[in-house]
Amino acid sequence: MTIRNTFILMALFLIAVPTFAQTSASSGSSFVLPGAFAMAIASGLCGLAQGKAISASVEGIARNPGAAGPIRILLILGLAFI
């Protein structure tokens, strides 16, 4: 690496420091409302997914009562992942 390339690289590093510096502290209240909407949407979709999983497992147990044990285990595991 030549002296010129080293100088250019060091200049870029020194220019990048203020670019990634921390900004001044803000009140942060502008993130509360969108965060609340995001959590509401995620919670609603999670409830729908859990209802779909439960209905599918109950339907599977109704069609084949002998497989109730493995279906129940997979249902509990799936609900834990949801």
How many CB atoms within 10 Å of residue 12?
9
Residue 35 lies in a domain: no
Residue type, 53: A
Residue 77 lies in a domain: yes
How many CB atoms within 10 Å of residue 19?
6
Residue 61 lies in a domain: yes
Residue 81 lies in a domain: yes
Burial class from Cβ neighbours inside 10 Å (0-12, 13-18, 19+) for residue 80 reads exposed
pLDDT tens digits, 57-72: 999 999 988 989 998 9
pLDDT tens digits, 4-53: 888 888 888 888 777 777 666 665 566 677 778 888 899 999 999 999 99
* Domain of 66, in residue numbers: 49-82
H or E, element range at 56? helix 32-63
Residue 11 lies in a domain: no
At 55, the pLDDT band (50, 70, 90 cuts) reads: very high
Overall number of domains in the chain? 1
Residue 72 lies in a domain: yes
pTM of the model: 0.55
Rg (alpha carbons) of the chain, rounded to whole number: 27
Residue 42 lies in a domain: no
Residue 13 lies in a domain: no
